[in-house]
Homo-oligomer: A and B are copies of this chain.
Amino acid sequence: MQFISEQRLDDGVLEREFTLGDIPGILWTPASVSVPAPLVLIGHPGGMRRMYPRLVGRARQSVADGFAAATIELPGSGDRPRSAALDQARADLRGALEAGEPVGDEIVDRLVLPLVDTAVPEWQAALDALLALPEIGGPVGYSGGVISIGVRLAVVEPRVSAAVLFAGSFVPRVMFEEARRVTIPLHVLLQWDDEGNDRQAALDLFDAFGSKEKTLHANMGGHTGVPQFAGEAAARFFTRHLG
């Protein structure tokens, strides 16, 4: 991991951009750290630059709660090399949505599964590098982004001990089986009237999770309209489990 830039935000948060091999990422840490901080991995749908205003908002909340926060770019997004297969799957998804057709399992699998298979080991590599920093000590939470990435991480990565998942993207059938193997505490956000999301699939996925502590928070306001109080509730979940 190489740090390539560093700036202090107005509230004293230290924001550092880094690269991990050819993957760009951002790390946010408190103004001063006396003991190694827990870490929240900030997920997103791809396009870290485009998502920056929302990512830095979530990161500031985590840092205010005493955590470090970090994110990396997803494969095929932002400044990373495009993937022809992923672009095709995205175009097919858009085509189906615009035509008002049901989105077939085959498109969802083509869109999400390769992304999960590639992204999850990258987030794990980022975790190796981040936990090696003296100012970061764990435990680790994963927050938001493509829900299937969160599910896979929760299954395969024992260092992730709690997750806030955002039920806002298509979920391949096979992920429902993986969901049954998740046992860490989960806090799932569902935007009830998110037109681009299949509400029933989100409820089925919540039902499938094997975790003994799992909470679903459904709110109004559309895909990007998560109310501020819902963001605060998610932050309190991390404080309970990582603090």
Contacts and interface: CB of A to CB of B under 8 A. Distances in A.
Interface of A: 192, 203, 206-207, 212-220, 227, 229-230, 233, 236-237, 240
Given A206-B218, A216-B217, A217-B216, A236 B240 contact: no
A191 B2 CA distance: 47
Contacts of A215: 217-220, 227, 229-230
Given A207-B192, A229-B240, A236-B229, A212 B218 contact: no
B217 A213 contact: no
Most buried by B among A218, A229, A233, A237: A218
A225 to B, nearest CB: 11
Question: How would you classify the secondary structure of chain A's contact residues: helix, strand, loop or mixed?
Answer: mixed
Contact of A218 (B216, B220, B240): B216
10 contacts: A203-B203, A212-B220, A214-B220, A215-B217, A215-B220, A216-B216, A216-B217, A216-B219, A217-B217, A218-B218
Contacts of A216: 192, 216-219
A226 to B, nearest CB: 11
A167 to B, nearest CB: 12
Given A192-B207, A216-B217, 10 more contacts: A192-B206, A203-B203, A206-B218, A214-B220, A215-B217, A215-B218, A215-B220, A215-B227, A216-B219, A229-B236
A207 B217 CA distance: 14
Contacts of A213: 220, 227
Contacts of A192: 206-207, 214, 216
A61 to B, nearest CB: 16
Contacts of A236: 229
Q: Please name the 7 residue pairs, one residue from A and one from B, whose CB atoms are nearest each other, closest first.
A: A216-B218, A215-B219, A217-B217, A214-B220, A233-B233, A212-B220, A213-B220
A227 B186 CA distance: 14
